[in-house]
Chains A and B, each alone.
Chain A
Amino acid sequence: MTDKPILPVLIVGGGPAGLSAAHAVASSGRQAVIVDKADRLGGAPILQGYAKLVPSHEWAKVAIGGMVARVQQNPNVTSHLNTQVQSFDGAPGAFTATLRNGTVIEADSAILASGFTHFDSLNKPEWGFGTYPDVVTTVQVEQMISSGAGIRCPSDGRVPDRVAILLCVGSRDRQIGREWCSKICCTVSANLAMEIRELSPKTNVYIYYMDVRTFGLLEGEYYWKSQEEAKVKYIKARIAEVTSDGKRLVVKGEDTLVKRPITIPFDLVVHAIGMDPNVDNMTLASVFGVSLNRYGFIDKAASYVTLGETSRPGVYVAGAATGPETIDDSIAQGQAAALAALTRAGTRQVRAAE
């Protein structure tokens, strides 16, 4: 042991996973440094203006805002906003990170909590996003609710009589190179459907699905409840096309349970957009020297033994940076990555092998 103080843990990303990791590191008495490219902490739930979160039904700005405040008030945590890591060198225990704004951070280890990017619906032009103003994404509906504006058609501000939510937009689709299930969209859609029904009881909500993947306990709280209490209708069809008859949107597809084509008029069509790898993942991979998996998310070195190791010893990963992830699991993974970073898991074996 030397007298040299142990260096802080560098955390890339200030969303749920990063905030959770920072809090865990700081709680153990060590220093955490958060670097985030946005102008504030909170990640997607805050930056994208999510409404009520799954599974607690708390407002995002309250729940995640609380995590932000907790970290900001902690003297062991420093934040660098509006910047990114430009270079990252060294070895476990003595990394040097240089930020774009010139700041140099000496770090013991690093946690990549860099999250994801929402799928851009323009990549599925047949579903009308960008062509018709009344085709929106789940994120936009979240914003309608969280801003207090209510559910309205962007074209003329009317309250829709009928809303269609299309699942698997940007997920499970080889045509656009996205073979993964984004894990959260079914539950988010059921949640939004219930919110819409509550805000506007006269609005009927239809969810077009291939499968409904409201996994675990979310089944009862979201899928069953949305059907049984909010009377949301689920129709088994993957929509082929969204067009317009000049007045309303027309959703076309095949209802596979009656084996008949459908062309149904709707006022508002919502894309349940999936989770893409963060657009910066190529840069992150090259700066931090970590490998990506075949889908473009940051590769996890092991699924068991230690959670959160990457291909580079001393660099850890948590949350949606590794693949589609829920907020509560991201928070859990943030803590797991913090523990791995604090104990510098995976680095001793490497030394022994040398």
Chain B
Amino acid sequence: MPIHEKSLIRPENLQTNDHLVIDGVDVSGHWSTFIKPRTITDYNEAMEAVIWALPGGENIHRCWQCGSCTNACTVHAIEPEFNPRYWIYLIRQGLEEELLRDKDIIWQCVSCNKCTYACPRDVVPEGVMKATAHWLELKGHTAKSPSTHFDEGFTESVLATGKIEEGRVLRSFFKRTGQPLNQPWLVALVGGLIRRFPLAFLIRLGWGTVFRPRTRGWRKAGRAIEDYVQERQAAQRLALRLDGKGATDGRQ
């Protein structure tokens, strides 16, 4: 029977010393491999509080580790390492280092919300995943995801004019993600529009793109929303103990 504990030994925890003498005994070389302890020596109580402060993470403390979320998870079915139940536990205990080992898969949550409906304690694991992915971004552990780039361009457009101008949002998305604008499918789409759309509509579209009309009376409303967004971001930066430069500046 294989020894289960062997699976717990991580390559990075193995140590071999070229020259090591302990109590007069030469233990150099690969034949005396040392294993670093995996002991958890303290809890970081601040970490759960950080996730509480991010949208979606409000109910994380309700989790009782039943595993319904992981069992229901769409991503877990194809990627066994994707384990919301486990990450929730790590966050609650503040085992940041352990969590960061999975930083490149946590954001892969597809927000299907199966976990949300499976969870008996209403933890909203999907929200927790969102908050955790957000935390990873804010801390600079992961690059901004394409959806974050899109959201930022979208939000900027709304705040500025009170309207969503699709062409502008799309262009800003491509710019933010460093993609060329002449995507074959986009060229085909625009070409099709020009050929098939009534002239009046195209003129309106072009006029809107050039002059960026604003919703009437938007200045006040937009400013109120902007204030609120900034207030929330400041609260999040405070919770994350990032400096005052801005949520996204923390990572570079």
Contacts and interface: CB of A to CB of B under 8 A. Distances in A.
Contacts of A260: 8, 38-40
Given A263-B39, A264-B40, A258 B62 contact: no
B196 to A, nearest CB: 56
B90 to A, nearest CB: 7
A258 B61 contact: no
| B38, B40, B90: most-surrounded residue (chain A CB, <10 A) | B40
Q: Does more than half of chain A's interface fall in helix, strand or loop, or is it mixed?
A: strand
Contacts, number: 50
A236 B93 CA distance: 12
Contact of A262 (B39, B92, B121): B39
Given A228-B62, A258-B90, A264 B42 contact: yes
B102 interface: no
Interface residues of A, number: 21
B45 interface: yes
A261 interface: yes
Interface string A242-284: 0000000000000101111111110000000000000000000
A234 B95 CA distance: 15
A243 B8 CA distance: 26
A261 B37 CA distance: 9
A183 interface: no
A211 to B, nearest CB: 11
Contact of B89 (A206, A257, A262): A257
A262 B95 CA distance: 12
Interface of A: 204, 206, 212, 224, 227-228, 231, 233-236, 255, 257-265
Given A212-B64, A260-B38, 17 more contacts: A204-B45, A224-B121, A228-B121, A233-B61, A233-B92, A257-B65, A257-B89, A258-B86, A258-B98, A259-B8, A260-B8, A261-B37, A261-B38, A262-B39, A263-B39, A263-B40, A264-B43
5 contacts: A231-B61, A258-B95, A261-B38, A262-B41, A264-B40
